[in-house]
């Protein structure tokens, strides 16, 4: 059972997760909800995953790639399964829970439960607030083929997020490459304008980027009408 350094377990967490695992067959790990608490340790209305999102039951790899509701601090894992996939990737400073869940779900059964088992302290200086683009790039490169097959739009989001963080640390050339890929995968307005902003001082002009985005959007629309994969 795991808990992050800025989290606190609810008093009956172990019982909740043990009972859940005992109620379903052939599950190797479970995850649950975390509720956010303020600086006075009072619970807020915000949870991860949101209470509007039903996470009960086994989650398939395809679903996991499209939307990952797994928080590392709520994981309750069969020890033998955890060791078999090598545990968490210690090189990742961000998205280590997503990476773990993807690797885990390819070999073992992972299920969610709707109970709240964690209280998560809202922190302005938490690790998630600090840029760690190398970690996101490592995640993208490791699971690129799976995302392309099952969740290209999620891959576009990850590329844009990594691009934003590379810009924050001054690596604009790497950021531009990631923004181009995000636009290729999902030629929407957000990705287009992010690329336009990042390329203002480069040899190609903003109108060329916007023209490329329009062409990509048209090609994707045409492929979808012809029976291609509409999510690309």
- Interval 120-130: pLDDT, tens: 987 665 555 67
Asked if the model's pLDDT at residue 223 lies above 50, the reply is no
Would you call 39 helix, strand, or coil by DSSP?
Answer: coil
Looking at every residue in the chain, the average pLDDT score rounds to: 86
Six-digit token pair at 91? 């090189």
Examine the fold and report which residue of 74, 102, 127 is the final residue of a domain before the chain moves on. Answer: 127
Number of folded domains that form the chain: 2
Strand partners, 47: 35
**pLDDT mean over 187-198:** 84
Would you call 77 helix, strand, or coil by DSSP?
Answer: strand
Same domain for 96 and 137, yes or no, is no
**pLDDT mean over 166-176:** 91
Q: Which domain holds residue 15?
A: 7-127
Residue 183 in any domain: the answer is: yes
Backbone angles phi, psi at 108, to 5 degrees: -135, 165
Same domain for 30 and 121, yes or no, is yes
User: Residue 93: is it exposed, middle or buried by C-beta count within 10 angstroms (0-12/13-18/19+)?
Assistant: middle
Same domain for 73 and 156, yes or no, is no
Asked if the model's pLDDT at residue 25 lies above 90, the reply is no
Examine the fold and report which residue of 104, 127, 150 is the final residue of a domain before the chain moves on. Answer: 127
Output the domain CATH number for residue 162: 1.25.40
Same domain for 100 and 185, yes or no, is no
Output the domain CATH number for residue 73: 3.90.550.10
Residue 232 in any domain: the answer is: no
Examine the fold and report which residue of 127, 156, 185 is the final residue of a domain before the chain moves on. Answer: 127
Percent of the chain with pLDDT over 90: 60
Q: How many Cβ atoms sit within 10 Å of the Cβ of residue 95?
A: 23
Q: Which residue has the higher pLDDT, 161 or 192?
A: 161
What's the N-to-C CA distance of the chain in angstroms?
37
């Amino acid at each position: 059972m795991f808990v992050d350094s800025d989290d606190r377990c609810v008093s009956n967490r172990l019982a909740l997760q043990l009972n859940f695992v005992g109620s379903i067959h052939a599950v190797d790990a479970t995850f649950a909800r975390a509720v956010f608490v303020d600086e006075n340790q009072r619970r807020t209305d915000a949870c991860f995953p949101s209470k509007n999102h039903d996470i009960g039951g086994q989650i398939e790899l395809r679903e996991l790639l499209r939307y990952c509701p797994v928080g590392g601090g709520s994981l309750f894992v069969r020890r033998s399964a955890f060791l078999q996939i090598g545990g968490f990737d210690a090189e990742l400073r961000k998205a280590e829970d997503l990476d773990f869940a993807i690797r885990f779900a390819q070999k073992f059964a992972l299920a969610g439960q709707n109970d709240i088992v964690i209280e998560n302290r809202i922190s302005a200086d938490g690790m998630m607030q600090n840029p760690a683009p190398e970690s996101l790039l490592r995640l993208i490169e490791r699971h690129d083929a799976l995302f392309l097959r099952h969740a290209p739009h999620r891959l576009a989001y990850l590329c844009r997020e990594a691009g934003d963080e590379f810009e924050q640390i001054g690596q604009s050339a790497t950021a531009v490459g990631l923004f181009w890929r995000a636009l290729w995968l999902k030629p929407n307005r957000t990705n287009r304008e992010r690329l336009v902003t990042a390329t203002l001082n480069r040899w190609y002009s903003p109108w060329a980027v916007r023209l490329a985005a329009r062409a990509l959007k048209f090609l994707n629309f045409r492929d979808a009408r012809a029976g291609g994969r509409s999510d690309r």
